[in-house]
């Protein structure tokens, strides 16, 4: 029998407002550097008599996200207590939303290997993060309450996905959307976004839903996808053996690459939801929603399609560039400047997604904050296009400006990188390379013409990237092909003299 998976995801995204969800304590990214338990107050420590107040900015960010996800915003919101007992939860309940959440019934369009798909969003609501348990082996567990009360946005998809590839596309698109909306910085390692997948399988074509398992606390796309793959296979194997799947909560063991049971059967009833008596119903006006809607930035998929259309760049590059709106802005500024210098946008995109992204990744510096501004990139590529610089020299100058700053012209001058097209200098380098590599020369002459590129590379190397590659190629061919049949090339016979 053929089986199909039915997959839904819940995403918890921290909202980086200045203060927490229900009190005035500061919200810090994990590298904020504050000592444990220094961003706390009676409200987020749940001292008796402390009263919560809803953070207006967090509600605004929630509406912003819900609108981007095409949801219906509720004009009347209610907060609710979700009770459960755990040491990281000082009140013994989380203030969340239940009966009247912020938003419902939206969708997110994604692109999958099988084409575009629309994934429905069931619900978007606001809640608060829990404290962080600091576990040390051999010592008592300690608790840092700095994270307790940090605003969280929970986004619940419908069980609309059927393959791990769709799950991955949904998670990545949602991630890019939230980062573009500046909900948070997108640092998955520090837990800015957390995924929970719920998974069941059924015979292909069946309509009913079988019991599902929920995989908790997935902090990377890799863990999300691998755990789903594992869980789908595990459930199929159980059905094939004639056994049943139990509804349960699972953890994911990254090392052993398998899911494991955490607790079984938790029903909504166990949370004993009831309206939070300390927070009155929250009314959201249509005017406020309209204001927020008017300020929505362009979303990644729309931006990607526009870059392809407006600048004729490859969809692949457009997707890379729109992974962050700051990168897309950088590209657009460079592409617009490039137009006045007849530089192709694809050429600019190639240098950004190749060399500049490489430099950014190795240094952890963001593209829009790096010393190579769009103006400098375009100035440099204009020299390249005119043939004053080789591509190797462009790389050198990019790396130099990236690490030390400075202008392209001054850097080219200082490093002596103006491309050499002078025949005499080129021929000197070519002779050197041929002399130093008799074996390769022999191979080439035995009609291994594929070696030409290798020879060009050698000349580029000894010239420090200054040799004009096109001219080098032409001269190399002449020199290498002068004597075929095992004799030494006439190194002293310089054709220009």
Chain positions contacting Zn ion, by CB under 5 A: 23, 25, 41, 43-44
If the CB atoms of residues 43 and 215 are measured against Zn ion, the closer one turns out to be 43
CB 46, min distance to Mn ion, A: 18
Q: How far is the CB of 151 from Mn ion (least distance, A)?
A: 12
Residue 7 or 148 having the CB closest to Zn ion? 148
Q: Burial code of 392-403, b = ≥16 C-beta within 10 A, e = fewer?
A: bbbbbbbbbbbe
Distance CA 14, CA 151 (A): 6
Rounded CA-CA distance 318/259 in Å is 36
25 binds, among Mn ion, Zn ion, none (CB under 5 to 8 A by kind): Zn ion
Quick one: 59 or 131, whose CB is closer to Zn ion? 131
Report the distance separating Cα 396 and Cα 362, nearest Å: 15
Which of 46, 165 has the CB closer to Mn ion?
46
Choose among Zn ion, Mn ion, none what residue 23 binds, the Cβ cut-off being 5 to 8 Å by kind.
Answer: Zn ion
Q: How far is the CB of 23 from Zn ion (least distance, A)?
A: 3
* Residue 427 partner contact from Zn ion, Mn ion, none using kind-dependent CB cut-offs of 5 to 8 Å: none
In the complex with Mn ion, the residue whose CB is nearer, 13 or 430, is: 13
Q: How far is the CB of 14 from Mn ion (least distance, A)?
A: 12
Q: Which stretch binds Mn ion (CB under 5 A): 151-159, 265-273, 439-447, 488-496?
A: 151-159
CA distance 428 to 462: 11
Residue 160 contact partner, candidates Zn ion, Mn ion, none, CB within 5 to 8 A by sort of partner? none
Within residues 62-121, the interface with Mn ion by CB under 5 A covers none
* Residue 385 CB, nearest approach to Zn ion (Å): 57
The closest of 389, 178, 203, 462 to 297, measured between CA atoms, is 178
d(C-alpha 437, C-alpha 439), whole Å: 6
CB atoms within 10 A of CB 430: 24
- Rounded CA-CA distance 55/25 in Å is 11
Residues 6+ apart with CB under 8 A from 179: 185, 186, 324, 325
End-to-end CA, the chain: 80
Smallest gap, in angstroms, from Cβ of residue 12 to Mn ion?
Answer: 6
The region of 130-138, 147-155, 168-176, 390-398 touching Mn ion under the rule CB under 5 A is: 147-155
Q: Which is nearer to Zn ion, 123 or 146 (CB)?
A: 146
Of 52 and 62, the one with the shorter C-beta distance to Zn ion is 52
Q: Of the two residues 152 and 401, which places its CB atom closer to Mn ion in the complex?
A: 152
φ and ψ of 70, to 5 deg: 60, 35
Say if CB 399 and CB 369 are below 8 A apart: no
Size of the residue set binding Mn ion (CB under 5 A): 1
Stated as kind and residue range, the H or E segment containing 144 is: strand 142-144
| Residues in 169-208 at the binding interface with Mn ion, rule: CB under 5 A | none
Stretch that binds Mn ion, among 47-55, 149-157, 292-300, 355-363 (CB under 5 A): 149-157
- Least separation in angstroms between CB 168 and Zn ion: 36
- What is the DSSP track for 206-261? --S----EEEEEE-SHHHHHHHHHHHHHHHHHHHHTT-----EEEEEETTTTEEEE
Considering only the stretches 130-138, 146-154, 221-229, 240-248, report the one whose residues sit in contact with Mn ion under the rule CB under 5 A: 146-154
Closest CB 47 distance from Mn ion, rounded Å: 24
How far is C-alpha 151 from the geometric centre of its chain's CA atoms? Answer: 22
Q: Report d(CA 315, CA 301) in Å as an integer.
A: 11
448: Cβ–Cβ under 8 A, 6 or more apart, which residues? none
Which residue, 50 or 326, is less far from Zn ion as judged by CB?
A: 50
- Check if the beta carbon of residue 324 is closer than 8 Å to that of residue 179: yes
Closer Cβ to Zn ion, 94 or 322, answer by number: 94
Among 154, 166, 196, 276, binds Mn ion (CB under 5 A): 154
Nearer to Mn ion by Cβ, of 80 and 181: the residue is: 80
Q: Which range in 148-156, 209-217, 440-448, 464-472 contacts Mn ion by CB under 5 A?
A: 148-156
Which among Zn ion, Mn ion, none contacts residue 313 (Cβ within 5 to 8 A by kind)?
none
Length of the chain: 497
Q: Which residue number, 154 or 332, has a Cβ lying nearer to Mn ion?
A: 154
3-class secondary-structure state, position 112: strand
**Shortest distance, position 291 Cβ to Zn ion, whole Å:** 28
Min CB(128)–Mn ion separation in Å: 9
Q: Which residue has the tokens 């080219």?
A: 412
Q: Of Mn ion, Zn ion, none, which one does residue 45 interact with (CB within 5 to 8 Å by kind)?
A: none
Nearest to 343 by CA among 312, 322, 315: 312
Q: How do strand 103-112 and strand 72-73 relate by DSSP bridges?
A: antiparallel
The option from Mn ion, Zn ion, none interacting with 154 (CB < 5 to 8 A, set by class) reads Mn ion
Q: State the minimum distance, in angstroms, from the CB of residue 3 to Mn ion.
A: 29
The one of Mn ion, Zn ion, none whose footprint includes residue 69, by CB under 5 to 8 A per kind, is: none
| Cβ pair 425, 464 in contact under 8 A | no
Nearest approach, Cβ of residue 204 and Zn ion (Å): 51
Determine the Cα–Cα distance for residues 417 and 471; give it in Å rounded to an integer: 16
Helix axes 423-436, 469-481, angle to 10 degrees: 50
User: Which residues are at the interface with Mn ion (CB under 5 A)?
Assistant: 154
């Amino acid at each position: 029998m053929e089986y199909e998976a039915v997959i839904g995801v819940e995403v918890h995204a921290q909202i980086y407002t200045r203060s927490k969800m229900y009190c005035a304590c500061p919200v810090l990214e994990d590298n904020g550097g504050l000592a444990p338990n220094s961003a706390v107050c009676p409200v987020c420590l749940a001292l008796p008599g402390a009263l919560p107040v809803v953070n207006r900015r967090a509600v605004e960010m929630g509406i912003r996200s819900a609108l981007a996800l095409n949801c219906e915003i509720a004009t009347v919101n209610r907060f609710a207590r979700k009770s459960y007992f755990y040491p990281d939860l000082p009140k013994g309940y989380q203030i969340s939303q239940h009966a009247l959440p912020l938003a419902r019934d939206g969708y997110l369009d994604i692109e999958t290997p099988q084409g575009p798909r629309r994934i429905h969003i069931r619900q978007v609501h606001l809640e608060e993060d829990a404290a962080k348990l600091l576990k040390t082996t051999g010592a008592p567990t300690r608790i840092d309450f700095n994270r307790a009360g940090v605003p969280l946005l929970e986004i619940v998809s419908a069980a609309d996905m059927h393959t791990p590839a769709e799950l991955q596309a949904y998670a990545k698109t949602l991630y890019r959307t939230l980062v573009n909306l500046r909900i948070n910085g997108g640092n998955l390692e520090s837990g800015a976004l957390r995924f929970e997948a719920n998974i069941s399988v059924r015979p292909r074509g069946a309509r009913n839903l079988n019991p599902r398992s929920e995989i908790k606390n997935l902090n990377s796309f890799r863990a999300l996808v691998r755990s789903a793959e594992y869980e789908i296979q595990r459930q199929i194997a159980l059905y094939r053996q004639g056994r049943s799947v139990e509804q349960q909560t699972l953890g994911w063991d990254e090392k052993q690459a398998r899911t494991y049971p955490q607790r079984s059967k938790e029903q909504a009833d166990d949370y004993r939801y009831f309206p939070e008596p300390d927070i009155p119903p929250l009314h959201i006006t249509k005017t406020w929603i309209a204001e927020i809607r008017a300020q929505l930035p362009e979303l990644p998929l729309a931006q990607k399609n526009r870059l392809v259309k407006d600048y004729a760049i490859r969809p692949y590059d457009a997707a890379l560039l729109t992974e962050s709106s700051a990168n897309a802005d950088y590209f657009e500024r460079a592409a617009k400047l490039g137009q006045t210098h007849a530089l192709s946008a694809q050429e600019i995109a190639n240098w950004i997604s190749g060399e500049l992204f490489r430099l950014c990744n190795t240094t952890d510096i963001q593209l829009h904050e790096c010393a190579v501004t769009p103006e400098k990139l375009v100035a440099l590529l204009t020299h390249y296009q005119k043939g004053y610089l080789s591509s190797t020299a462009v790389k050198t100058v990019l790396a130099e400006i990236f690490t030390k700053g400075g202008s392209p012209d001054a850097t080219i001058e200082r490093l002596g990188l103006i491309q050499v097209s002078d025949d005499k200098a080129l021929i000197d380098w070519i002779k050197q390379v041929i002399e130093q590599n008799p074996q390769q020369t022999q191979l080439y002459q035995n009609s291994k013409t594929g070696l030409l590129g290798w020879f060009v590379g050698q000349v580029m190397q000894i010239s420090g990237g200054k040799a004009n590659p096109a001219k080098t190629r032409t001269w190399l061919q002449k020199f290498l092909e002068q004597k075929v049949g095992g004799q030494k090339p006439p190194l002293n016979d310089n054709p220009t003299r």
